[in-house]
Amino acid sequence: MRKQLTIGLFGFGCVGTGLYEVLNQTSLLQARIKHIVVKDATKKRQIDASYFAYDAEVILGDSEVNVVVELINDSDAAYVIVKRALESGKHVVSANKKLIALHLEELIALAKANNVSFLYEAAVGGSIPIIRNLEEYYNNDSLSSINGIVNGTTNYILTKTGEGQSFDDALKTAQELGFAELDPTSDVDGFDAKYKLVLLLKHAFGYTAKTEQVWNYGIRQLKTWDATYAREKGYKIKLLAFGTRVDDQVVGFVAPHLIPANHFAYNVENEFNAVVVEALFSDRQLFLGKGAGSYPTASAVLSDISALQFDYAYEYRKTNAQENLTLTTDFRLRVYVSGTTKEQLERVKFEEIQEIYHGSTHHFHIGWANFSDLQQLDWNNESDLFLAVLPEGLQLASTVYAEEGQLEAHAN
Ligand SMILES: NC(=O)c1ccc[n+]([C@@H]2O[C@H](COP(=O)([O-])OP(=O)(O)OC[C@H]3O[C@@H](n4cnc5c(N)ncnc54)[C@H](OP(=O)(O)O)[C@@H]3O)[C@@H](O)[C@H]2O)c1
């Protein structure tokens, strides 16, 4: 049976206003916003002032409010709000990937203990319905990989650098258009994509990664010669959140990839997001859509609110079944690494170098490097180096050993 939802909304910015508008245009939902709590009392609002309050308790202390929708841009404040809401027995819908990735297990446990739902479809891929699909649709088909473009800002910048703009110019344009923050660190250094990957790993494989375990390397160091190299080889550079699973080992990291024309993400441009799921029986499937923006993101929030009418909650069935998974670092990557000087480039340890280029402006190596060797450098702060993973560029040590074992057995 549908139940009446009385919403306390935190935040009335890009997504909050979008939610207000889409809710007003949706007749099927038995949901109404009772209060909206925001921060700045001096800001002019476009709707009736009686909605607004500036004290979280107006929502959290109102027993009629049974749903808290958290859409603020401060993950520390959001943590306090979401925790209190769950403890007060209110369902919570949030779009805050950083908050959720940092406190996932605690918030799941709190929701369970208080017999309420905690839903966050909008936190990954904006309008793309990926979390609930991973939870429900792929519940019986064993997933082998999930990867995608989950940050629209960097995808926009990479689209422009692919067309010949410098990174700095492309970032500036993205900032002018409102796609990038004034401090773009979270996007361009891959943190935002990492938080989303943590949620994808949870719902795809049942693995709870700690954010500090997952390597995130972004695109800040990309130079024009890297974009030129990609273009000349028929590749595009895309920032991928990469997750794969082999037996009980999970690989998860965020890094730029050089992708060929037949790659699913090749034509995913500008602020669009895409997630590709590979599963044993259903093979490969692509989810494509707007990864951000007022209405697209609000549509995912709306879908969560709608699900609450029927008491929907994530069950995390994969987590329960797969308690022995580990996040492995025992693999190697085939990478392109460029450096502004030969000396800088030689600081990167390769297991096998397959191609060397020395030019007047820059230098590069292509080859296989152990992931643990690459981890010796703080890549987001290496201004003279750039790295991108090449196609088919991952080998798990266990797979290599197994293949060597098979070869030896064959030779004997
Ligand atoms: N924008 C997108 O396309 C998008 C896509 C996916 C997910 N998200 C996520 O959705 C959330 C909201 O993003 P947004 O783009 O809508 O942010 P935004 O436009 O910057 O708006 C933020 C809102 O939060 C309010 N706020 C900040 N701190 C607060 C506090 N302590 N208590 C109450 N209200 C507070 C602000 O109040 P004032 O109005 O008074 O300043 C403002 O209304 C974030 O977690 C973001 O990561 C956004």
Say yes or no: 277 and 173 in one domain: yes
pLDDT for res 409 = 44
Say yes or no: 213 and 314 in one domain: no
Query: Average pLDDT, whole number, for the chain?
Result: 94
Residue 282 pLDDT grade (very low, low, confident, very high; cuts 50, 70, 90): confident
Say yes or no: 75 and 136 in one domain: no
53 lines ligand 1 (CB under 6 A): no
Say yes or no: 66 and 154 in one domain: no
Say yes or no: 233 and 196 in one domain: yes
195 lines ligand 1 (CB under 6 A): no
Considering the candidates 97, 160, 194, 196, report the single residue annotated as catalytic. Answer: 196
Nearest CA to ligand 1 atom 27: 72
HEC string for the chain:
CCCCEEEEEECCCHHHHHHHHHHHCCCCCCEEEEEEECCCCCCCCCCCHHHEECCCHHHHCCCCCCEEEECCCCHHHHHHHHHHHHHCCCEEEECCHHHHHHHHHHHHHHHHHCCCCEECHHHCCCCCCCHHHHHHHHHCCCEEEEEEECCHHHHHHHHHHHCCCCHHHHHHHHHHCCCCCCCCHHHHCCHHHHHHHHHHHHHHHCCCCCHHHCEECCCCCCCHHHHHHHHHCCCEEEEEEEEEEECCEEEEEEEEEEECCCCCCCCCCCCEEEEEEEECCCEEEEEEEECCCHHHHHHHHHHHHHHHCCCCCCCCHHHHHCCCCEECCCEEEEEEEEECCHHHHCCCCCCEEEEEEECCCCEEEEEEEEHHHHCCCCHHHCCCEEEEEEEEEEEEHHHHHHHHHHHHHHHC
> What is the model's pTM?
0.96
Testing ligand 1's pocket by substitution, the residue of 42, 44, 71 carrying the most ligand atoms inside 8 A of its CB is 71
pLDDT in tens, 292-306: 999 999 999 999 999
Say yes or no: 36 and 146 in one domain: no
Q: Which domain holds residue 159?
A: 131-292+329-399
Testing ligand 1's pocket by substitution, the residue of 39, 40, 52 carrying the most ligand atoms inside 8 A of its CB is 39
Decide if 404 is inside a domain: no
Decide if 154 is inside a domain: yes
* Distance of CA 376 from the midpoint of ligand 1 (Å): 36
196 is catalytic: yes
pLDDT in tens, 137-183: 998 778 999 999 999 999 999 999 999 999 999 999 999 988 888 89
pLDDT in tens, 71-82: 999 999 999 999
Say yes or no: 109 and 141 in one domain: no
CATH of the domain at 57: 3.40.50.720
Atom of ligand 1 nearest to the CA of 300: 6
pLDDT value at 322 more than 70: no
Say yes or no: 307 and 383 in one domain: no
Say yes or no: 281 and 302 in one domain: no
Decide if 406 is inside a domain: no
Nearest CA to ligand 1 atom 29: 39
Say yes or no: 206 and 340 in one domain: yes
* Distance of CA 251 from the midpoint of ligand 1 (Å): 31
Nearest CA to ligand 1 atom 19: 13
Task: Please tell me the total count of domains within the chain.
Answer: 2
Say yes or no: 181 and 277 in one domain: yes
pLDDT in tens, 57-110: 999 999 999 999 999 999 999 999 999 999 999 999 999 999 999 999 999 999
